[in-house]
C-alpha cells in the first residue's frame, strides 16, 4: 500500500496504532470494573467501531496476562469472538510460551518491531490501556491516536501517571464524543502530525 507525497515520491502508508484507555476522573486505569455501569449500547457501538477498524492487538506483558486469563472464558455475546480470534502481539522479554491463540511475542527492540508491524498491510493495530509500551511508542512517533474514555467516577488508587513519571508529550485534540451516560471520549493525536 503506497501513497504519493507532495514531492511525488512514493512513501509506504502505515497502519495506525490506536490506544484505547478507560480512565476515571482521578486518572485510574487499573481494574476497570467501574466501567461496567457505563458500558451501554452507545459505548458498545463505539468500541465495536474501533475493533472493526483493527485486525491486530498490541499489548505489554501485564495486559496480555490479564486478557489471556479472562477472554478465553467469556462468551461470544461478551465480545470474546473478536478478542480470542484477532492476531495478538505482546511486547515482552520474559513471556516465553503464550497460550492464548494467535499470539506472537515481540522480543526484540520494541520500536523496530512495531515499525515493521505498522509497515505491513492490514487494518489498524489496537491497544488497550496506556502504560510503558504505549508511552514508548508515543515517544518514538509510532502511536497515532490515544482514545481516552473519561468516566465520571473517582475511585482512588494509583493514577496512570504513577509508573510514567518521566512521560511527557504534547497532543492535539482530534475528536470529542459525549455519551448519554456521561462518558466523554477524547481522541488525541501527537501534535504536529
Topology of domain 14-190, CATH: Dihydrofolate Reductase, subunit A (3.40.430)
pLDDT in tens, 116-169: 999 999 999 999 988 889 989 999 999 999 999 999 998 887 776 555 556 567
Q: What confidence score (pLDDT) does residue 10 get?
A: 33
Interaxial angle between packed helices 132-139 and 110-119, expressed in degrees from 0 to 180 and rounded to the nearest 10: 70
Q: What confidence score (pLDDT) does residue 12 get?
A: 46
Percentage of the chain with pLDDT > 90?
A: 67
Structural domain boundaries in the chain: 14-190
Assigned C-alpha cell, 165: 513519571
pTM of the model: 0.85
**What is d(CA 187, CA 166) in angstroms, rounded to the nearest whole number?**
22
pLDDT in tens, 83-110: 999 999 999 999 988 999 999 999 999 9
SS3 173: strand
Amino acid at each position: 500500500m503506497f501513497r504519493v507525497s507532495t514531492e511525488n515520491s512514493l512513501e509506504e502508508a502505515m497502519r495506525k496504532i490506536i490506544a484505547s484507555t478507560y480512565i476515571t476522573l482521578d486518572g485510574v486505569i487499573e481494574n476497570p470494573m467501574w466501567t461496567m455501569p457505563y458500558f451501554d449500547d452507545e459505548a458498545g457501538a463505539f468500541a465495536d467501531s474501533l475493533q472493526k477498524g483493527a485486525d491486530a492487538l498490541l499489548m505489554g506483558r501485564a495486559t496480555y496476562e490479564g486478557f489471556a486469563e479472562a477472554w478465553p472464558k467469556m462468551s461470544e455475546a461478551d465480545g470474546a469472538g473478536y478478542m480470542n480470534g484477532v492476531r495478538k502481539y505482546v511486547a515482552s522479554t520474559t513471556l516465553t510460551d503464550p497460550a492464548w491463540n494467535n499470539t506472537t511475542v515481540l522480543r526484540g527492540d520494541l520500536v523496530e518491531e512495531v515499525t515493521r508491524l505498522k509497515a505491513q498491510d492490514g487494518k489498524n493495530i489496537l491497544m488497550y490501556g496506556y502504560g510503558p509500551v504505549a508511552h514508548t511508542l508515543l515517544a518514538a512517533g509510532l502511536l497515532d491516536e490515544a482514545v481516552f474514555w473519561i468516566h465520571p467516577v473517582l475511585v482512588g488508587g494509583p493514577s496512570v501517571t504513577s509508573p510514567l513519571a518521566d512521560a511527557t508529550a504534547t497532543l492535539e485534540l482530534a475528536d470529542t464524543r459525549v455519551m448519554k451516560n456521561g462518558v466523554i471520549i477524547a481522541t488525541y493525536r501527537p501534535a504536529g502530525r
